[in-house]
Copies of this chain bind each other. A is one copy, B any other.
C-alpha cells in the first residue's frame, strides 16, 4: 500500500518556537518536507532567498495568485505571504508529508481544498512564558513585543479550528509529540479507505 503524504498546517503564536520545532522535526525524519512560502516583505538580516522564503515583488506575487499558483495566501502587516502549489503537490504525490507554517487565515483556506489536511497549533506552557521568550530574543523592541502579544491574543480566538495542540515546553519532547500525532493521522480510517476496501474485497472473495 502506497503511503500518501499529508498536509500538516502548523500555526502558533509568534515566539512560541514553531520554527525551531519544525526544523528539528524535518532534520530528524526523512518523511517530512517543509514548504517554503513566497512573500513580498524584505529579507531580514541573515535570511536567504529560497531558504526562509522566496522573496518576490508585489507584481510577481499577484501573478502567482492569478495563475492559481498558490494554495493559500494572506496579507499580514502590509505584506503578502503565500504557499506555492507545485512544491506541495509534488511532495504529497511522492508520499512525503508537507509541513506548512502559516496562520489561521491560510490554514482555513488549506482545509477547504485539502479535506484531510491536519491542523496543529503550538502553544506555550503559559502566556507568561510566551512573553518571556519574546523578551528574551532581544532582537525586538518593547513596542514590537506588545504588538505580538496583542496579535497572539487575537489569534487565540481561532484555536478551536485546529485538530491538535502541542505544548512547547521541552523542545525534544514537543518534536516527538508532533511526529507521533502525524504518525497517528496516517492511521485514521478515512486516510486508509483503499486498504479497507482491499480487505473487504478479499474477505468477500474468501467466503463466497
A202 touches B127 (CB 8 A): yes
- Among residues 178 to 207 in chain A, which have CB atoms less than 8 Å away from a CB atom of chain B? 180-181, 183-185, 187-190, 192-193, 195-196, 199-200, 202-207
Stretch at the interface among A50-58, A80-88, A148-156: A148-156
Q: Is A106 an interface residue (CB 8 A)?
A: no
Interface residues of A (CB under 8 A from B): 121, 123-124, 126-128, 130-131, 146, 149-150, 152-153, 156-157, 159-160, 162-167, 177, 180-181, 183-185, 187-190, 192-193, 195-196, 199-200, 202-207
B153 touches A204 (CB 8 A): yes
Q: Is the interface of A mostly helix, strand, loop or mixed?
A: helix
Given contacts A127-B202, A202-B126, contact A164 B188 (CB under 8 A): yes
Given contacts A181-B184, A189-B165, contact A195 B149 (CB under 8 A): no
A164 touches B181 (CB 8 A): no
Q: How far, in whole Å, are A188 and B185 apart by their CA atoms in the complex?
A: 11
Minimum CB–CB distance from A171 to chain B (whole Å) comes to 16
Q: How far, in whole Å, are A85 and B195 apart by their CA atoms in the complex?
A: 35
